[in-house]
Amino acid sequence: MSASTHGHGTVLKHHFDNLEQQHSAERLGMWFFLVTEVLFFSGMFVAYTVYRNWYPGEFAFASSHLIWWIAAINTGLLITSSLTMTLAIRSAQLGDKAGLIRRLLLTFALGGGFMGFKALEYTTDYHERFVPGEVFRTEYARPLAELTADDARRKYEGRPVLTAQEVKDYQFKGGQEHWSQDLATRNYGKTPGAEGTVSPERVQLFLMFYYIMTGIHGVHIIVGLGCILWLVCEAWRGAIPREAYSKVEVISLYWHLVDMIWLFLMPLLYLIGTRGGH
């Protein structure tokens, strides 16, 4: 024990007896931290479960208007990044500095790609005004107003008002498929809460979950990217010798957890609606 202690004086911190103790403490610390992370997200998952049980129709509707293909690409990116992260541990164990740096940078690039697509997704959502609050209400009022105006004109000209089927197939002037038009055609002329209606308020509730959950997950990705960059710097200056590989391992634990949380978020947010010809 003492021989190895003196051998790795720079890696071993003064308050540990030996490297084995130090590494197992670091690993255990990260595992405990991951427990807190799971509980941190669990509050949101619990709330999501409650509301989805209450409002399944609205959640399915809102989910079907999210951009599923970005989520699919992002899932691929994150899973691949977990692989490269694990390979980085292997490089660290072998003392392969160049390989370690290469694989860490690859992980960083994949994570960065995730955030890039995320930014694209948020921007698109924002331009579509698919955001809870005042913006949502204003956007929703537009197709409703168009329908109301059309009906008023028909009444004025003595024509029959829009039938339910006509409302469903209504051709809006914008032409392009949009969530607000979808929502308006479902609700127009019906009493709130009737069969087939979708409450615009509760759609906003889903959107709150969408933004908060993916937002907090994104913050975790950014923190993870920062940690990976730090590892790259450490590896660069030679501070990750073979016996200190647990530094990489500990960060990888965190990275995998963030990855795993995404694997729960992805289906819960993107895949619960019915797609294709709303």
Q: Which stretch binds other proteins (CB under 8 A): 140-148, 158-166, 177-185, 208-216?
A: 208-216
Q: Nearer to other proteins by C-beta: 38 or 119?
A: 38
Q: Is 164 in the site for other proteins (CB under 8 A)?
A: no
Query: Residue 122 to residues 32, 35, 117, 200, 205: CA-CA distances in angstroms?
Result: 32, 29, 9, 20, 17
Q: Nearer to other proteins by C-beta: 44 or 253?
A: 44
The two three-digit tokens of residue 152, written as one number: 């008023």
Q: Is 262 in the site for other proteins (CB under 8 A)?
A: no
> Least Å distance between CB 159 and other proteins?
37
> Least Å distance between CB 4 and other proteins?
17
Q: Is 55 in the site for other proteins (CB under 8 A)?
A: yes
Q: Tell me how far apart the alpha carbons of residues 223 and 274 are, in angstroms, rounded to a whole number.
A: 34
Torsion angle in degrees (nearest 10) through CA of 107, 251, 231, 18? -150
Question: For other proteins, how many residues bind (rule: CB under 8 A)?
Answer: 38
Q: Which stretch binds other proteins (CB under 8 A): 94-102, 127-135, 185-193, 227-235?
A: 127-135
**The residue type at 34:** L
Query: How many Cβ atoms sit within 10 Å of the Cβ of residue 160?
Result: 9
Q: Tell me how far apart the alpha carbons of residues 71 and 73 are, in angstroms, rounded to a whole number.
A: 6
**The residue type at 273:** G
The two three-digit tokens of residue 199, written as one number: 């409450």
Q: Is 54 in the site for other proteins (CB under 8 A)?
A: yes
Q: Which stretch binds other proteins (CB under 8 A): 26-34, 60-68, 83-91, 109-117?
A: 26-34
Q: Tell me how far apart the alpha carbons of residues 212 and 200 are, in angstroms, rounded to a whole number.
A: 18
> Least Å distance between CB 149 and other proteins?
27
Query: How many Cβ atoms sit within 10 Å of the Cβ of residue 92?
Result: 27
Q: Is 122 in the site for other proteins (CB under 8 A)?
A: no
Measured in whole angstroms, how far is the alpha carbon of residue 79 from the centre of its chain?
A: 13
Q: Is 28 in the site for other proteins (CB under 8 A)?
A: yes
Please name the residues in contact with 179: beta carbons below 8 A apart, sequence gap of 6 or more: 62, 65, 128, 130
Q: Is 49 in the site for other proteins (CB under 8 A)?
A: no
Q: Is 47 in the site for other proteins (CB under 8 A)?
A: yes
The two three-digit tokens of residue 159, written as one number: 């024509």
Q: Is 21 in the site for other proteins (CB under 8 A)?
A: yes
> Least Å distance between CB 207 and other proteins?
9
Q: Is 50 in the site for other proteins (CB under 8 A)?
A: yes
Please name the residues in contact with 269: beta carbons below 8 A apart, sequence gap of 6 or more: 63, 66, 71, 209, 210, 213, 214
Angle between helices 97-127 and 200-236 (to 10 degrees): 160
> Least Å distance between CB 43 and other proteins?
4
Q: Which of residues 63, 121, 132, 262 is near other proteins by CB under 8 A?
A: 132
DSSP 232: H
Q: Is 234 in the site for other proteins (CB under 8 A)?
A: no
Q: Which residues bind other proteins (CB under 8 A)?
A: 14-16, 21, 24-25, 28-29, 32-33, 35-37, 39-44, 46-47, 50-51, 54-55, 58, 132-134, 199, 201-202, 204-205, 208-209, 212, 216
